[in-house]
Amino acid sequence: MSTEMEVDEPQRLQLRHTRDAAQLLINQILTTVPLRSTQDGVYATLPDPITTLPREKPIPKAKELTTWEKFAKKKGIAAKAKDGKMVYDEATGEWVPKWGYKGSNKGGEDDWAVEVDERKQEDVNANPRSLSRAERVERVKKNERQQKKNERNAAAASSSSGSGYKNRRR
């Protein structure tokens, strides 16, 4: 039974101190700040905060611009506004995605006739449908390579020491 009393005593002491501190704070607020009474109740006009808390960590540094962003800034090219992801296909009468799965960018793949560009097709026996698909796959791979290159450049720039030397491995 004495152990219960010992455990309860610190909690009672803590509650008493907390109550006293809260009562002091409320009394100070009610005596020092202007009060105004409205239909909704009594309002206390609190002073502006004067103590600002510092950040735990420093403000993050701005990320280095990618090659394209540098070029676009130099040439004054603005980012294109997004028009939306869906476009209306008048042939089917439905809304389809601009890109991706069943997107309108693949419209020529399912056509019964395919236009052949004489300048692009070196081999007469090559399938024009597979050529257009291969071109699109190559564009995707090129985009991925450029994206990885930009990521490597950004990582090298952020991890480089203050000596000004950049490690440029490709």
What is the per-residue pLDDT across 137-163, written as a single tens digit (0 to 9) for each?
A: 899 999 999 999 999 998 888 877 555
Does 45 fall in a domain?
no
Does 49 fall in a domain?
no
Global confidence as pTM: 0.35
Which pair of tokens denotes residue 77?
Answer: 């090219």
Q: How far apart, in whole angstroms, are the C-alpha atoms of residue 26 and residue 32? A: 10
Does 102 fall in a domain?
no
Does 7 fall in a domain?
no
Express as a percent the part of the chain with pLDDT over 90.
Answer: 26
Does 144 fall in a domain?
yes
Q: How far apart, in whole angstroms, are the C-alpha atoms of residue 51 and residue 16? A: 28
User: So what's the pLDDT on residue 69?
Assistant: 92
Does 142 fall in a domain?
yes
User: So what's the pLDDT on residue 157?
Assistant: 83
Does 19 fall in a domain?
no
Tell me the three state secondary structure of residue 147. Answer: helix
Does 137 fall in a domain?
yes
Please tell me the total count of domains within the chain: 1
pLDDT digits 0-9 by tens, 68-104: 999 999 999 988 877 778 888 888 888 888 877 877 7
User: So what's the pLDDT on residue 53?
Assistant: 82
Range of the domain at 143: 126-152
pLDDT digits 0-9 by tens, 66-77: 999 999 999 999
